[in-house]
Structure 1
């Protein structure tokens, strides 16, 4: 994406945080320079009104790309005077940055990759505000899936070519051995011509992309995709890593999760924390449904040798709660990056064969059935968290859905600003269920705390209480 950047008004102005900042204006090129006057006016009005605070937080997150903090309020405290305004050009957009972090610039010019991410923020928030606001179709399952499709199409990440996109899930807070392993797997995937999609943050979301860049360079692949999919509630805690060249901001976690499974042709899970468990349970809740039992979807859990006990504990928890049928949907491969890549590559070939046979598109998995209850946003409150039905006797996919909501609530309490405020005001969430499920859940969460998978830095204070 080409950009035109004016000479900064203040090459190194200082905010009250004492960190160097820059004030300037930039002109996006691409999707944002071919807007109608009416669209520009609506975008300007939205950014000056209810959208402004959200735009400011997301913009600050990408301008501090590469930050080691997972506190969503840290960047705002470091750059209290930062602001962003969307102005109107003739059928185009002008973005004003005030007291922006100097780390996003070099010699007074915004870094090209950071500019792309910033334009993606404006693009996606604008599209959501203008195209989806008040959309009655969001009350139906097909309507929500269509909205997900439109958001991904508007972000230009739907690629009508042979299936080759691997979604990689895993924690933002992982050790060096695990991080190096994610790079090794990404390298092996890249050698086989596979592109990478992650949650866009650090740790296991960055490693596979970093490994793939080397392999893609060796294979002289120039049109590569490193897609990062996030949502407003989490982007401030997990700023996009610098390798992401296609950033997509979905309106909420449910549409983010649906984007992963509609866009990707296979999924690899690295070690992580509660967010990774949420993703695993979301996918299992879909694949366990009878409507999806025939679909090809390679699903691999992998990590270095030291991570074997981690996956054993995850596997044990899934078998206890959802049964062996759920465990049969994934394959665990330990300490063998090449085998992971070969298994995924062959699995994606079967996905291609099935899509051809069913005349389904390569770039969006329309055949996958995602029920409305998995698509509707779950906003974790103390009442809703306490009311989750975590008991035996339910259909496995229904229990998986509520377990996913439990982990989603813990993620919110850990790193999302709204969730953190609820915990500060009312204390930890309480989670109730059958004693054996609660015992297994408590053991799993305690292990995450001990292994420092909940937070990157600082002491972790649990935002939950497991009640047997």
Structure 2
């Protein structure tokens, strides 16, 4: 069911746009922004969907449209054939309204103030370090524009990673962890979708409410390529859209004070490889960064497999970068709180900002967008004779390509046209990866429950 027409005005975020910005957002050509805006807006409105396949929903999507109307008093949005789950008694849900205008804010800002701004463009003579610093500056500016960076606030922001396709038991467990975090005054950030991204936020709202904490933060960080599969849940009260997955991942680690990883699929494996690759860099050796893997008793085997894969590919040093806590939400929260206290003390001693981790070194290897084509996936260096943090960067790209083939439009279409991605490498790397992926398929962690999964990859040892 859809709502044929609705006119929406902002309550607080982004009240005015220039004529140039409005024209760009109406422009449906390749250089215009209308398609990007429409796709993200549809995902926000479609948050009640039980599908994670944007291509399969194409008919519903094609019937939907969104137009910007510029009035003397500001702007309004005209919605046509919007999903009716976004409305209550004919009125758009308040949180979804705010998400729509957050989408508008970030798309306009990124394209007009970042992509087309010469101060963020490096020259051919720029060093890798200079380019890396500019990419970090882009992440900082987008987060600052979205008011995610809060100067003077002392509560810790805990990022929670995990799959959108998890069991009810795992979802309930993530809620219990979020509840314990909320009781201890910590805020929660996630990829803002369903499953392990929604559960911690839902739990934290209860924990915050019991402590009469009316300023609880539920930060959702996403990007246009993934938003259709992981639509922002309405609990999110601070939504920000980064231009690509690499900047999204950097935003997670720069603005948080610790990370909890729940069970998940290829996307969670990508996030783990990204994080461990950064923490394994020699320049980051002494920077405290609490990381906890956690789930209910039924997830013990999952984390045993993840831990074994990390030990086999990246070594013991990587395993020392995290704790594994099974079936104990209170202990997870206690250990995270201890870790955040160490982070706070370290940043005070080193005059680093509490709201943005400037000291963390992130190489260009982790910042350069990876395009998951068959050629690029086939050329990945998945050999054991390289620095662990570089191997982690390449493993991250491999998992990223699988995520694209699972849920991103361009990846799905690429696989449908040319067959599965082929991954080559040393047997010591590629075979454990194949076993890990196979276990994720068996545990139904690659697609939402009820969906038939056809692998988008092929392991070639």
Q: Does 1:460 align with 2:438?
A: no
Of 76, 81, 85, 1:103 maps to 85
Q: How does 1:223-242 map to 2 (within 5 A)?
A: 223-242=215-234
CA contact 1:195–1:226 (8 Å) conserved in 2: yes
When residues 138 and 253 of structure 1 are mapped into structure 2, their CA distance, relative to the original with a 3 A threshold, is: farther
SS at match of 2:344: helix
1:158 and 2:140 correspond: no
Equivalence for 2:291: 299
Deviation at 1:434, TM superposition (A): 0.5
Q: Answer yes or no: is 1:58 the counterpart of 2:36.
A: no
The CA deviation at 1:40 is 1.9
Matching residue of 1:47: 25
For residues 78-227 of structure 1, the aligned pairs below 5 Å read 78-90=60-72, 92-136=74-118, 137-139=120-122, 140-160=131-151, 161-227=153-219
Q: Does 1:327 align with 2:319?
A: yes
| Other structure's SS at 2:309 match | helix
Alpha-carbon distance in structure 2 between the residues aligned to 1:410 and 1:275: 8
Q: How big is each residue's C-alpha offset from its partner over 1:211-245, in whole Å with a ceiling of 9 and x where there is no partner?
A: 11111100000011101111000101111112111
Tell whether 2:433 aligns with 1:441: yes
Deviation at 1:157, TM superposition (A): 1.2
Deviation at 1:93, TM superposition (A): 2.0
CA contact (8 A) 2:259 2:292 kept: yes
Is the CA contact (8 Å cut-off) linking 2:102 and 2:239 kept in structure 1?
yes
* Counterpart-to-counterpart distance in 1, 2:377 and 2:84: 41
- When the two chains are superposed, the root-mean-square deviation of aligned CA atoms in Å is 1.3
Unaligned runs of 5+ in 1: 1-18
Please name the residue that 1:430 is paired with. 422
The Cα offsets for residues 10-67 of structure 1, whole Å up to 9 and x where unpaired, read as xxxxxxxxx232312222243412x4xxx52122121112211111111011111132
The answer to whether the Cα contact below 8 Å between 1:322 and 1:396 also exists between their aligned partners in 2 is yes
TM-score by length of 1: 0.93
What's 2:127 paired with?
none
Q: Distance in 2 between matches of 1:467 and 1:398?
A: 21
CA distance in 2: counterparts of 1:81 and 1:43, whole angstroms: 24
Count of aligned positions: 446
Output aligned runs, 1:263-278, within 5 Å: 263-278=255-270
Distance 1:74 1:180 in 2: 29
Offset, 1:156: 1.1
- Residues 208 and 216 in structure 2, CA contact (< 8 A), matched pair in contact too: yes
User: Per the alignment, do residues 87 and 133 of structure 1 end up closer, same or farther by CA in structure 2, a change over 3 Å counting?
Assistant: farther
CA distance in 1, matches of 2:219, 2:298: 28
TM-score w.r.t. structure 2 length? Answer: 0.95
Distance in 2 of aligned mates of 1:117 and 1:441: 37
- Write out per-residue CA displacement over residues 397-437 of structure 1, whole angstroms, 9 at most, x where no aligned residue: 00000000000000000000000010011110000110121
Structure 2, unaligned runs of 5 or more: 123-130
* Alpha-carbon distance between aligned partners in 1 of 2:117 and 2:446, rounded to the nearest angstrom: 36
Helix, strand or coil at the partner of 2:14: helix
CA-CA distance at 1:273 after TM superposition: 0.4
